[in-house]
Amino acid sequence: MIKTRQKLESLRKTLRQHNYRYHVLDAPIISDGEYDRLLHELKAIEAEHPEWITPDSPSQRAGAPPASKFDKVPHPAPILSLANAFGAEDTRAWFERICKMDERVNEATFTVEPKLDGLTVVLHYRDGIFVQGATRGDGMIGEDITANLKTIKAIPLRIPIEKKEERGKKGQPSLFAENRPPNTEYRIPPHLVVRGEVFITHADFSALNKRQEEAGEKTYLNPRNTAAGALRQLDSRVTATRPLTLFIYQIVYAEGGEIPNSQWERLEYLRELGFPVNADSRHFDELEETIRFVDGWEDDRLELPYEADGIVIKIDDRTLADSLGITGKDPRGSIAYKFPSLEVTTTLNDIQVEVGRTGVLTPKAMLEPVEINGVIVRNATLHNFDFIAEKDIRIGDRVLVKRAGEVIPYIIASIAETRSGQERPVRPPSNCPACAEPVEKIPDEVAYYCVNTACPAQLIRNIEHFVSRTAMDIVGMGGKIVAQLVEAGLLGDVADLYTLQKEDLLALEGFKEKKATNLLTAIEESKKQPLERLLTGLGIRGVGESVARDLTLHFADLDALRAATQLDLENIEGIGPNIATAIVDWGLVAHNQQMLGKLHDAGLNPVAIVGVQHAAPLRWEGLTFVITGTLPTMSRKEAKEYILARGGKVTGSVSKKTDYLLAGEKAGSKLAKAEALGVKVIGEEGLEELESN
């Protein structure tokens, strides 16, 4: 019993630390599969001993049964807003105004933080335990969304985070009373209320929409609305499925303890406690320096992994800032320097229909080229045909387009007022644009499908997915090569990859000895990938990375999985009846069975090695990278994953602490900065060199 209890505590501690490394530091040291296994173990003990479950257990993040409404929560201090400044002149005017109010402001220093376009939340910690979380509401009273917030893994359920160095100490350290976060001299207030901004990163938003698209479901319109909708869910189990994260930037209330007076030190203090704090924040001694920094961000803002609509400039001395008072709801001691809008209008010249991996037909907008923040935009996302109908978007319309970070620009609305009468309504196609077979609409789904399993467009997408970095990771096999091989009749399914001959490749345009050998070696190497990657690569509807991992927790190899019944599958946590049906149905298709047979004959017999990945040395641990520009074959997201997987860290801006700037074409101010600071600049091939060193 005591042993089990100790095991429980140690699992919780380990899980908290890994959760922190993954969601706050962005530097995981174990695989997701290993994390899931530990969580599974914790849940098993808690199922045996429900009396041991505490609200801060890592198991308590999965979402609670639905509520009927949100209770009201009064805020301990008003949750204020910010006045805006549009440009340097406005900012100087703000500073002059407050200097006149109090001459000490002349000597002030500044903390600047990206202004995230998300949703404000207010989090209460009592004796270090996260006890309540609220929306902003009217600034005085918010709504209790504690259950939803608990599902956000970046929110610590208890503070301070126990640092690795403290491991090995006997027993649990007492968390409060005289306890301090490591490296600071402040006693933690028993009632601490912090404020932050909940948001969804561009990468997570794209991945979410990709999943929706593949499942034939509606795609979300933008990260902010999606985050807002998720926070307002009465069923927190739904919130748990949305990729929300947050940054904390303000201490709203601290009772019974001490906190630093400087905003810059407060950010550091919050970080020490284990909160996620934006690493792109800076401190400056004078206003002109601050303005130069902010102006520099205007070009780089789109490279931030999240949407920022400006930079917040804060007088660093909080007592001084607070003493300046407020106008309306805006504190005088801070200002939001807003970036220019990223929305423009242009003409929708045409709509092209693309065929996805599962046959989903997606409309893409062909635009009259238009510049948004230095980039010429020609195409945009139109979500689905329902969206086009709902918004009454017609070919020839003037449309409002937004460009945000790394996501593909998207159409917000059409401007009906400027119509000439020549515009044409859009109808879903009745035949697939790639294979001309009739299109089908599945009841209850928004998507239209090409159901021809031999459709070449689908085959190309399927193989692209199979070879991608999240699946079999066949290096050097980009979309162009896949299309080339399919068009040459060399690939009829993914298994044909493993019987490709060198002569076949050499007969193709652009292939020489070295390229052919490298590709074949990479294909051969991929045979060693574990089961979860093969499962991800097969492209079974609903089976992405995380479901594939759940499956490998229960089935050690393909044969075991093939023997599973619908019920066996449904009994697995994280797998519902729809996915179970999709897996069973997939296995019944004759062509899929043949393909598995071919894979087996080619020597692929992968086993689940959940969690073993972390055993590989993380060679780039301690190295910090910044990525900029367009890389020859990898997207920036892929490059980031590549670096993270090797233990490196990726940050948004170049500083003296940066080890490498990974620069592609059209690298802008970051390249200049790296050169000025003497930071090593490498290209994509430089990554591979580092890897092989």
Residues at the interface with ligand IVH (CB under 6 A) = 80-82, 113, 115-116, 120, 197, 249-250, 312, 331, 334, 336
Helix (H) or strand (E) holding 157: none
Closest CA to 305 of 669, 636, 20, 655: 636
Q: How far apart are CA 24 and CA 277, in angstroms?
A: 8
Tell me the pairing of strands 424-425 and 410-414: unpaired
Beta bridge partner(s), residue 76:
none
Question: What's the number of CA atoms in the CB half-sphere (13 Å) around residue 226?
Answer: 22
Token couple for 415: 């401007």
Cβ distance 455 to 493 under 8 Å?
no
Q: How far is the CB of 19 from ligand IVH (least distance, A)?
A: 23
Cβ distance 398 to 461 under 8 Å?
no
Q: How far apart are CA 140 and CA 79, in angstroms?
A: 7
Cβ distance 260 to 186 under 8 Å?
yes
Taking the least distance from each CB to ligand IVH, the nearer of 120 and 146 is: 120
Q: How far is the CB of 246 from ligand IVH (least distance, A)?
A: 10
Taking the least distance from each CB to ligand IVH, the nearer of 270 and 474 is: 270
Q: How far is the CB of 319 from ligand IVH (least distance, A)?
A: 14
Q: How far is the CB of 225 from ligand IVH (least distance, A)?
A: 15
Taking the least distance from each CB to ligand IVH, the nearer of 120 and 529 is: 120
Q: How far is the CB of 215 from ligand IVH (least distance, A)?
A: 32
Taking CB atoms, the residue at the shortest distance from ligand IVH is 113
Q: How far is the CB of 136 from ligand IVH (least distance, A)?
A: 7
Residues contacting residue 288 through CB under 8 Å, at least 6 positions apart: none
Taking the least distance from each CB to ligand IVH, the nearer of 8 and 79 is: 79
DSSP letter at 303 equals G
Q: How far is the CB of 221 from ligand IVH (least distance, A)?
A: 20
Cβ distance 418 to 394 under 8 Å?
no
Cβ distance 194 to 123 under 8 Å?
yes
Q: How far is the CB of 88 from ligand IVH (least distance, A)?
A: 19
Q: How far apart are CA 268 and CA 281, in angstroms?
A: 10
Q: How far apart are CA 407 and CA 201, in angstroms?
A: 10
Residues contacting residue 129 through CB under 8 Å, at least 6 positions apart: 55, 56, 157, 158
SS3 73: strand
Taking the least distance from each CB to ligand IVH, the nearer of 112 and 497 is: 112
CB atoms within 10 A of CB 126: 15
Taking the least distance from each CB to ligand IVH, the nearer of 36 and 197 is: 197
Token couple for 304: 């931030």
Helix (H) or strand (E) holding 612: none
Q: How far is the CB of 403 from ligand IVH (least distance, A)?
A: 20
Cβ distance 280 to 271 under 8 Å?
no
SS3 146: helix
Cβ distance 53 to 60 under 8 Å?
yes
Active site residue: 69, 100, 115, 218, which one?
115
Residues contacting residue 58 through CB under 8 Å, at least 6 positions apart: 12, 15, 16, 19, 39, 42, 157
- Give the Cα-Cα-Cα angle 17, 542, 35 (nearest 5 degrees): 15
DSSP letter at 606 equals -
- For residue 97, the one-letter residue type is R
Taking the least distance from each CB to ligand IVH, the nearer of 246 and 355 is: 246
Taking the least distance from each CB to ligand IVH, the nearer of 245 and 384 is: 245
Taking the least distance from each CB to ligand IVH, the nearer of 247 and 642 is: 247
Give the per-residue SS3 of 666-680: CCCHHHHHHHHHCCE
Q: How far is the CB of 161 from ligand IVH (least distance, A)?
A: 21
Sheet with 334-338, edge to edge strand ranges = 84-85, 334-338, 308-315, 110-116, 282-284
Q: How far apart are CA 682 and CA 626, in angstroms?
A: 10
Taking the least distance from each CB to ligand IVH, the nearer of 116 and 643 is: 116
Q: How far is the CB of 334 from ligand IVH (least distance, A)?
A: 6
Does residue 115 carry a catalytic annotation?
Answer: yes
The structure tokens 């490591």 sit at 182
Question: What's the number of CA atoms in the CB half-sphere (13 Å) around residue 153?
Answer: 21
- Give the Cα-Cα-Cα angle 293, 294, 295 (nearest 5 degrees): 90
Q: How far apart are CA 154 and CA 516, in angstroms?
A: 44
Beta bridge partner(s), residue 283:
111
Q: How far is the CB of 80 from ligand IVH (least distance, A)?
A: 4
CB atoms within 10 A of CB 70: 18
SS3 626: strand
Taking the least distance from each CB to ligand IVH, the nearer of 199 and 625 is: 199
Q: How far apart are CA 622 and CA 613, in angstroms?
A: 19
Taking the least distance from each CB to ligand IVH, the nearer of 267 and 561 is: 267
Q: How far is the CB of 281 from ligand IVH (least distance, A)?
A: 8
Taking the least distance from each CB to ligand IVH, the nearer of 189 and 196 is: 196
Q: How far apart are CA 379 and CA 366, in angstroms?
A: 5
What are the residue numbers of the active site?
Answer: 115
